Amino acid sequence: MKKKSGKIVSLLLTAVMVLTLGAGCGGQGGGSEDAKEIKMGTILPLSGSQAPLGKIGQQARDMAIEEINAAGGIESMGGAKIKMVYADSKGDPATGVSEAERLITQEEVALITGCYQSGVAMPSTEVAERYQIPYFVDVPSEDQITERGFKYIFRLAEKTSWRNRAQTEFITSMAQKYNTPVKTVGLIYENTAWGQGAVRAWEKYLPEAGLEIVMKEPYPANSSDLTPVVLKAKKLNPDIIMMVSYVSDAALLTKTFAEHQVKPLAFIGTSGGFADPTYYDLAGDASENFFDISTWEPDVNRPNSQEINKRFQEKYGYAMNAEAVKAYAGMYVIKDALEKAGSTEPDKLREAFVATDLQSGPAQMYASQTKFDETGQMINAPLVICQYQKVNGKMERVTVWPEKEARVGSQIVWPYPGAGN
C-alpha cells in the first residue's frame, strides 16, 4: 500500500514538472531562461546484427556530450546541458519511423540525430520534416537524402557519389603531379545495387575528367574464381583499375592481380571490402600499394584528430572509425548551432544550421570547414585516399591524399610498381 502511494506521488510530481516545463516553453517562446537541459534524440541500431556499429556511434556522442557539458554547456542558453535520449531502430526502417515519431511527440526532443543506415534515414527524416523538427544526419550517405527538397534535414556525411568524384579528382591530380598521362579506366564491381550505383557515378565523373571507360566488368559476389576477370583486365590493359568489392572478392582479386602481374598505374578500391580489417590478413603482401577511399583515418593530419582518438581509445578501449568521428564532430556542429540560436525553437535552430560556418574546435578532426548548402548538404565533405604501405615491415593504411591531410612523412607510391616490387 505504501509503495503504491509512493508511486502515485512520484507520478504526480512528474506530471507537475512536465506541465511547468511545457508552460515555460509556451510562454517564453523558446524558454531560453528556464531551459537548463536541452533534450535531443538519437536513432541508432542498438540491437540486432548492426548493434556494434550503433554502439560506437553512441559512445562517440556520449564522449562529446560529456565534454560539452563539463565545459559549461550551451553558454547562450545560460549554460544549459545537453541530454541525449537514445532510440533503437534495430536497423529497421519501420522501427526507425515509429521511434522518430515517439521522440518528437512523447520525448519532445528539440532535434534528432542519427541514424547509421541510409535505409532508416530516408523514411525517418520524412517524419522530422513533417513535424518541422531539425534532423541532423551524421553518417548515412545515400545521395537522395538531401535531394528531396526538405528544409529541416542537415547532413554532415558525404554523398555516396562524392567518393567516386573524389577518386576521379585523385587520379587527375596524380596524373599531373607525376606526369603519367591517364587515358583509360577499367571498372570491376560486384553485381549488386552498391556496385551498380558506383558505376553510375563513375560514368558521370570519369568522362567529365576526360577519362575513357574501356572496361566495365560486373561479377557475381562470392565468386569461385576471378581469374577470368583479371585476365580480361590484363588484355584490355586500362591505365587505372577501380573496384567495388566485399572483402572475400577484394582479397581474391588482389591476389589474382598479383599472380598474373597485372600492372596498371594504380588499383583503387571503393571502401567496403578494401577497408575491412581482415582484407590485408587475407590478401597479404599482394595488397601493397593498393589505394582505398575513406573520410577519416587514424593517421590523418587534421587538427585535434590524434588527441581525440587517443581519448576515445583510453575511454572505450578501441580506436574510432570514420562513423564515430562523424558522430563526434556532429555533436560539436550541433553545439555551435545551439549557441547561435540561443533557443531550442525549431525554426531558430534551423536558421542557425543554415548559417553554420564552423572553422574551429574539435569538429576539425572531421572537416576544416563545416557549412551546409541550401539542400542541407555539408559542402565539401572531406574525403581522403589511403594506400596500403609497409611501415617498419608491417602493412598499414597510410593516408596519402590530399597532401595537407596526408600522414606526416608519408610518400605516395605512384605509379604502381608491380606486385612484389
Considering only the stretches 219-227, 335-343, 359-367, 387-395, report the one whose residues sit in contact with other proteins under the rule CB under 8 A: 219-227
| Span from 135-143, 215-223, 299-307, 371-379 in contact with other proteins (CB under 8 A) | 215-223
Helix (H) or strand (E) holding 310: helix 305-316
- Cβ-based nearer residue to other proteins, 127 or 275: 275
Residue with cell 611501415: 391
* Closer by beta carbon to other proteins, 288 or else 396: 288
Q: Which stretch binds other proteins (CB under 8 A): 103-111, 140-148, 153-161, 211-219?
A: 211-219
| Residue with Cβ nearer other proteins (132 or 227) | 227
Nearer to other proteins, 218 or 361 (CB): 218
The residue (of 240 and 253) whose beta carbon lies closer to other proteins is 253
Among positive and negative, which fits the CA dihedral 344, 347, 351, 356? positive
The three cell numbers of residue 191 are 553485381
What cell does 61 get? 556522442
Of the candidate residues 145, 198, 199, 251, the single one contacting other proteins (CB under 8 A): 251
By CB under 8 A, the residues from 261 to 320 that bind other proteins are 261, 278, 281-282, 284-286
| CA 39 to each of CA 23, 85, 378: distance values in angstroms, whole numbers, following the listed order | 16, 7, 24
Q: Do the beta carbons of residue 164 and residue 83 sit within 8 Å?
A: no
Q: Is 229 in the site for other proteins (CB under 8 A)?
A: yes
**228 touches other proteins by CB under 8 A:** yes
Alpha carbon distance 173, 179 (integer Å):
10
Residue 260 near other proteins by CB under 8 A: yes
Using CB under 8 A as the binding rule, whether residue 11 contacts other proteins is answered as: no
Smallest distance from other proteins to CB 249, Å: 10
Choose one: 3-11, 23-31, 259-267, 356-364; the region binding other proteins (CB under 8 A).
259-267
Torsion of CA 291, 236, 285, 409, to 10 degrees: -30
Contact positions with other proteins (CB under 8 A) in 380-419:
419
Report strand pairing: 384-391 vs 394-401.
antiparallel
| Residue carrying C-alpha cell 562529446 | 64
**Residue 138: closest CA among 271, 332, 354:** 332
> What is the three-class DSSP state of 37?
strand
Cβ at position 91, least distance to other proteins in Å: 17
Report the alpha-carbon distance of residue 190 to residue 244 in Å, rounded: 6
Q: Find the DSSP H helices in 342-396.
A: 346-354
Residues of this chain that bind other proteins (CB under 8 A): 191, 217-220, 222-229, 231-232, 234-235, 247-248, 251-252, 255-256, 258-261, 278, 281-282, 284-286, 419
